[in-house]
Amino acid sequence: MSMTVRYRGTYTIKPETATWTGQLPLSELDQIGIITHVPTIYFYKPPPEWLHPADAIFDTLRGSLSRTLVPFYPLAGRLRWLEGGRLQLECNAMGVCFIEAESEGELNDLGDFSPRPEFEQLLPLLLVQVTKFKCGGLTLSFSMSHAVADGPSALHFMTEWARLARGERLSVEPYYDRKVLWAGDDPSSTLPPRPQHLEHSEFNPPPLLIGHTNNLEERKKKTTVAMLKLTRTQVETLKNAANKERAGQHHPYTRYETVAAHIWRCACKARKHKPEQPTAVGICVDSRHRLHPPLKLGYFGNATLDVVAAGMSGELVSSPLGCTSSKIREAIERVTHDHVRSAIDHIRRQPDLTLFQDVHALGSTRGPFYGNPNLGVVSWLTLPIYGHDFGWGREVHMGPGNHDFDGDSLVLPSLEEEGGLVVALCLQIAHMEDFKNFFYEDIVE
């Protein structure tokens, strides 16, 4: 599909009133993992033209964004690189980029909204772009630096922006004191030695394909994206299969633990791994409620930690689904208060953080790569990703703006059926069709 986008105007949106200026400390969790911008895109049906003309919609979004940047003032600042790959956040109210655009295409042209090259014209260069389609439909896309906010924080911003756009008041004030994650402490004087019994396999390089000494060849292979839907019945069938040997136990495997295990097993099959092939899955765990005390409501920053489940491909595909789910659970349960504190200590003592930073979106070959024989399975199941009404109705779809790295996958709740799920998956082209077949054929009682 060819999509022509015409840009109407580009604006620098600054906070509506004066905000605090100065250097805001970043925690260690802000400075590892994905540190580039992460794009997300929302699609809206055509609002009544007489009620919401395009110019009024653009005005509403610009004005409400300016008001939202008052409490969320760090987003109007700038990041600065420091020695050793570290970052510093300057709160200076310089503003964010807001792009208005129009497209001759129609929403129906986008099919099931799977991420595709055409989306690049709908994504912002820095932060926000709103595009009006010929049919009257809209896309609202925002691209936020992951060094400033993780998923829960980014969605907190979106939720509050939508509230202000509707003329409502702020619901939850953002909280910026990163000292709750020990930011700014001198490790030589304030951090105790890291407990020797705590291992941090999440910082080790992921496995390579047998016979390979690096992952450069795998990084170059062409990929494709699929949006795979699971009905509520299919989800329940997978859960029942995973929990078959846990009947009567108090803590059955969750939807995420079950579906992530299913994705992992199917990927091993589709990639035709040797039985002795080591493989790992990266799991993003929110530590907000795992710390003592829990982080304050509205904490704005990165409070997630990536952990790893590992195994042999032959073992994963030949064992019951529950065995693979148990590996996922064990990795998640490692994220305790002590583990997070120990991980932060470990990161802080590194002279160079670039080895811990994922910048493959910039074409770099450094940083962790969770493509073949590995993958990452990120859950958006508990995040408030839907219901962002800016005054003309809720979205009809939301999802990642681009998603083109082998092994990347997201698990989202379905908008079409309560209890259903959607898996947004990127794999090498050579493996996708086999994966799809295993993904549905392996859902058995």
The residues annotated as belonging to the active site are: 146, 389
Lay out the sheet containing 408-413: strands in order across: 223-230, 421-428, 408-413, 375-379, 278-286, 304-312
Q: Which two tokens stand for residue 306?
A: 């990536």
CA distance 396 to 415: 8
Give exposure, 385-404, as e/b (b: 16+ Cβ within 10 Å).
bbebebbbeebebbbbbbbb
If you search the block for the tokens 């260690």, which residue do you land on?
28
CA 279 to chain centre: 21
3-class SS of residue 67: helix
Closest by CA to 350, choosing from 219, 240, 203, is 203
Confirm if 247 and 240 have CB atoms less than 8 A apart: no
Residue 48, preceding bond cis, omega within 30 degrees? no
| β-bridge mates for residue 102, sequence order | 6, 132
Confirm if 91 and 24 have CB atoms less than 8 A apart: yes
Q: Which two tokens stand for residue 288?
A: 């907000």
Confirm if 246 and 253 have CB atoms less than 8 A apart: yes
CA distance 138 to 118: 15
CA distance 82 to 252: 46
Helices (H) and strands (E) in the chain, counts: 10, 17
Q: At what angle do helices 232-242 and 255-270 cross, to 10 degrees?
A: 90
CA distance 58 to 99: 10
Confirm if 107 and 23 have CB atoms less than 8 A apart: no
| β-bridge mates for residue 207, sequence order | none
Give exposure, 71-108, as e/b (b: 16+ Cβ within 10 Å).
bbbbbbbebeeeeebbbebebebebbebbbbbbebebe
